[in-house]
Amino acid sequence: MATIAPHLSTFEGGNALPAFRAAALLARLQAVSPRITAVDARYVHWVGTEQPLAPQQSDTLQALLSHGQAHAGDDQGTLIRKHFLQLDGLGVRDLHFSGDDLYILAGPTMVLNGEIRVFKWPAAAPLLAANRDPVRFEEALTESVSLPHGRGTNRAEALCDLPPALSGGLPTWIVLYVALGADRKEVKHTVFGDLVRHK
């Protein structure tokens, strides 16, 4: 049986998106959503070890894993902000903003079986924009809906808003699945998702 390393260290690897590529990508994203004001990417390496790393070991790994142009971080020099969400042990499968609220599709990681749920983080957008803490623990989540799933099949993988013209003006998600069972496949090149009302 595989074991999980009890100590996890994080090492910055440098800027992953040159300025000219970031500008081009930002223009394409703003054509979809004008609310997007910036785009950014950096390499981050996670190293699992059985024992905590000694300072010299950390310095050695940082030197080995540093490449390209260093990422400058924000105006406070913070390179990455970590947000820990209480999802009852489930992993994040998809994220979707509806207004200022963030909806989180959560379920087993990889190909494991188990329940799949959607959590709601109310007013997440202004909180994320105003946050300056390098680490934030968020427990103010509510469970929005539980989704159907099979054993080894029908794992919800993505959700998005259905256009109002198709939803009758009512807030509705379309949920799509992977590892489809026979009940979600009728003919070749055709699959069935779910329509879910949300508030």
Give per-residue pLDDT as tens, 93-123.
888 888 888 888 888 876 677 788 899 989 8
Q: Give a yes or no: residue 72 inside a domain.
A: no
Cross-sheet strand order for the sheet of 172-178: 155-161, 172-178, 194-197
Give per-residue pLDDT as tens, 152-184.
777 888 888 888 888 888 888 888 888 777 878
pTM, full prediction: 0.58
Question: Do residues 108 and 170 both lie within one domain?
Answer: yes
Question: Do residues 91 and 183 both lie within one domain?
Answer: yes
The torsion angles phi and psi of 61, rounded to 5 degrees, stand at -65, -40
Query: d(Cα 99, Cα 173) in Å, to the nearest integer?
Result: 14
* Tally of domains in the chain: 2
Question: Do residues 112 and 182 both lie within one domain?
Answer: yes
Question: Do residues 43 and 98 both lie within one domain?
Answer: no
Question: Do residues 190 and 99 both lie within one domain?
Answer: yes
pLDDT band for 83, please (50, 70, 90 cuts): confident
Question: Do residues 88 and 184 both lie within one domain?
Answer: yes
Query: d(Cα 189, Cα 107) in Å, to the nearest integer?
Result: 26
Contact 144, 119 (CB under 8 A): yes
